[in-house]
Amino acid sequence: MKKYICDVCGYVYDPEIGDPDSDIAAGTSFENIPTDWVCPVCGVGKSDFSAIDD
């Protein structure tokens, strides 16, 4: 699963970790996060994230 980076603040969403503070379980791919999820650091939406190429 790919990691995604917030274009605004640099937060990296790692699907192996998820976002426990937002009830996103470990193992949840970025594509499967609810559309209303926001960056836990700066509050922007999913559209402001870019895939990180490994």
Tell me the pTM: 0.93
Could you give the dihedral angle defined by the CA atoms of residues 15, 30, 28 and 33, in that order, rounded to the nearest 10 degrees? 140
pLDDT of residue 34: 97
Residue type, 38: V
> Is the pLDDT at 54 greater than 70, yes or no?
no
Asked if residues 40 and 21 have their Cβ atoms less than 8 Å apart, the reply is yes
Tens digit of pLDDT for each residue in 11-53? Answer: 999 999 999 999 999 999 999 999 999 999 999 999 999 999 8
CA distances in angstroms from 1 to 35, 38, 43, listed in the order given: 18, 19, 23
